[in-house]
Amino acid sequence: MRIFSFKTKFSDIIKLMNRINITPTQIKDTLYTQILPEVFKPARYTGGEIGSKIPKEDTEVRFAFTFPDTYEVGMSHMGLKIMYCLLNEMQGVTCERAFAPWEDMAKLMRQYNIPLYGLESFTPLINFDFVGFSIQYEMCITNVLYMLDLAGIPFRSSERNDFDYPLIIAGGPCTVNPEPFCDIFDIIIIGEGEVVTPKLIEIYKEYKGRTKEEYLKAIMNIEGVYIPSFYSVDENNSRTALVEGAPLEIKRTYIPDMNEVYYPEDTLVPFIETVHDRVMIEIMRGCPRGCRFCQAGFIYRPVRQKRLDLLKKQIDDQLTSSGYEEISLSSLSTTDYMACTDAISYIMEEYDNDKVSISLPSLRIDSFSLGLVDSIQKGRTIPLTFAPEAGSQRMRDIINKNVTEEDILSTMRQAFENGFTKIKLYFMMGLPYETDEDVLAIAELMQKIVDIYFELKLRPKDLSLSISVACFVPKPHTPFEFFAQDSKEEFDRKQRLLIENVNRKVRLTYHDSSLSVLEAAFAKGGRNLNDVIITAYEKGCYFDSWGDYYKEDMWKEAFSAHGLDFAVLAKREYDYEEVTPWDFVDIGVSKKFLVREAKKAEQQKTTKNCYEACSDCGINKDGGKCNFEI
């Protein structure tokens, strides 16, 4: 029997249900008898996978690690697996998982009054102490609201008084500019969650039974913790602390020694295929290269490498416990890991009989990288992917790619000679100072690569050459944070220019320009976007990063309802001296360095990578230099 009408707001339904106290057993029974037989991929919603944890009987604190995308995407995220195991190893703490249900599931959950629940115990999220969202990309933010809505939790921190509701936390790379979504969260973690989250939980144990404000005050000075409700911000991004002692600058927190970073001994093995079905081991954090468009290259500084003996142990633990037949050595620039060759040799020698294959993401365009891929091929045809990012040398110097055309062409020649015929290259368009000649240079470069293939007299039908051209999005805490983005019309024109000029043998894919413009508006935006996000969700926007689900018109209406236009926000430039919405976040790299790099971009001057020379980015506040020995 339905208790509520279709017109009842779902959050009201849940509040009422909370009163009637739906139990995990009732949720589980309804799922198995009524809902799961009707949905696509029911294993997304059942938990119980190999490596999943049974909730502790003596649980004092319940934490839900919540990923605002599908199960398949979330279960491929290494951070989830790390945090899940780390928190479950804490005394008295149970960590469960929740993902964004696909719309068929959400519809039935609404129909049967089932709130969003933790996969381990079927407990409604509303009954947890913490619900922690991982914000990996800007456009997942409406899915946070979608999940809160399904859980019956009010959207804004200000609507969740005291401990009647869980504390809603955000972490992940997008929190380096938390302002566009800060009203939703009680606590925002800036930096590496492994450091902060256990501290938040330990202090919470002491503050249970007291007020939410008392608890938030107790944690507000922990490095990496930002409590948005403790500040007011004016239209010039000037900030005032509303609570005595709240810091005006929030420092990103990170673990200086990679060998001290927690890594689980076992891993979760899903029942269904996910985006990455393999063991993923992090070999290094940070990147030494300093490409000027790349946010990760700045917000994860400095480079920190894992010792080889520790890496070998983690490889053994993970492969043995999971039974996976593929392992990925992951980092932002895998071939910059100084023990990369040794790590590969170890896996090949130790796991050759088990037929374990190795995948190497993020390769540089050079013969060393090619040699590594060649050594792991074992008779398979591995597709090669490289990212020159720009077609002309002028543009590659502006972005500090530090790769020459000679490097690219000689690597391609060597690849063809070694039997690699499936090659994908990644480029961007709309970069600062870009001209039409730079766009056409992508087509010219591809023509040279096609010519090399035919010069070598290889079988034409074997060649599979593709390029993916993304629209540049200026990101906070990079030297390009000051720049405007191209308009949608300009992106569309440049895309047509490229399509008309690229060799027909090259398969070209490109990004949705409108979605990229919206992404830039959120990357560079301020507090006024909180209302827009809520309006957009209420109009029906969610799963925005899933191509067909992006509803441009609804987003335009949502911005317009608040007197804003995302096309205008994306084109916003910042002067070097101007205060940006994210200036209060100290990621470690100094603004002085970012300005220096932005000026060098204008002069088409490059900066050496950190291994070759230190360019004094400010990460070592005492002026000390990084030590890259492992």
Binding site for ligand SF4 (CB under 6 A): 301-302, 610, 614-617, 619-620, 625-626
Q: Nearer Cβ to ligand SF4, position 285 or 301? A: 301
CA nearest 38: which of 98, 147, 111? 111
Cα distances (Å, whole numbers) of residue 29 to 2, 54, 116, 122, 184: 16, 18, 14, 10, 32
Query: Cβ of residue 628: shortest distance to ligand SF4, in angstroms?
Result: 8
Query: Cβ of residue 97: shortest distance to ligand SF4, in angstroms?
Result: 34
Query: Cβ of residue 535: shortest distance to ligand SF4, in angstroms?
Result: 41
Cβ-Cβ contacts under 8 Å for 228 (sequence gap 6 or more): 157, 178, 179, 182, 183, 185, 188
Query: Cβ of residue 617: shortest distance to ligand SF4, in angstroms?
Result: 3
Query: Cβ of residue 625: shortest distance to ligand SF4, in angstroms?
Result: 6
Q: Nearer Cβ to ligand SF4, position 544 or 597? A: 597
152-165: string of b/e by CB count within 10 Å (b at 16+)?
Answer: bbbbbbeebeebeb
Q: Nearer Cβ to ligand SF4, position 260 or 616? A: 616
Query: Cβ of residue 610: shortest distance to ligand SF4, in angstroms?
Result: 3
Query: Cβ of residue 588: shortest distance to ligand SF4, in angstroms?
Result: 9
Asked whether 185 and 227 are in contact (CB, 8 A), the reply is: no
Q: Nearer Cβ to ligand SF4, position 253 or 535? A: 253
Q: Nearer Cβ to ligand SF4, position 210 or 621? A: 621
What is the Cα–Cα distance from 528 to 621, expressed in whole angstroms?
Answer: 33
Cα distances (Å, whole numbers) of residue 28 to 72, 91, 316: 21, 27, 36
Asked whether 570 and 517 are in contact (CB, 8 A), the reply is: yes
Q: Nearer Cβ to ligand SF4, position 599 or 625? A: 625
Asked whether 491 and 516 are in contact (CB, 8 A), the reply is: yes
Query: Cβ of residue 301: shortest distance to ligand SF4, in angstroms?
Result: 4
Q: Nearer Cβ to ligand SF4, position 164 or 616? A: 616
Query: Cβ of residue 171: shortest distance to ligand SF4, in angstroms?
Result: 23
SS3 per residue for 205-268: HHHCCCCHHHHHHHHCCCCCEECHHHEEECCCCCEEECCCCCCCCEECECCCCHHHCCCCCCCC
Count of alpha carbons within 13 Å of 598, Cβ hemisphere only? 23
Q: Nearer Cβ to ligand SF4, position 132 or 173? A: 173
Asked whether 212 and 158 are in contact (CB, 8 A), the reply is: no
Q: Nearer Cβ to ligand SF4, position 554 or 614? A: 614
Asked whether 173 and 523 are in contact (CB, 8 A), the reply is: no
Among the residues of 48-169, which ranges form H helices? Answer: 71-74, 78-88, 103-111, 141-151
Query: Cβ of residue 290: shortest distance to ligand SF4, in angstroms?
Result: 7
Q: Nearer Cβ to ligand SF4, position 299 or 442? A: 299
SS3 per residue for 590-616: CHHHHHHHHHHHHCCCCCCCCCCCCCC
Asked whether 427 and 442 are in contact (CB, 8 A), the reply is: yes
Q: Nearer Cβ to ligand SF4, position 101 or 302? A: 302
Query: Cβ of residue 615: shortest distance to ligand SF4, in angstroms?
Result: 4
Which two structure tokens, joined as six digits, stand for 316? 């053994």
Query: Cβ of residue 364: shortest distance to ligand SF4, in angstroms?
Result: 17
Asked whether 84 and 95 are in contact (CB, 8 A), the reply is: yes
Q: State the helix-helix crossing angle for 367-376 and 405-417, rounded to 10 degrees.
A: 20
- Which residue reads 């990496």 in tokens? 224
Maximum C-alpha span of the chain: 76
- Count how many residues are written for the chain: 630
Burial class (CB in 10 A: 0-12, 13-18, 19+), 25: exposed
Q: Nearer Cβ to ligand SF4, position 301 or 571? A: 301
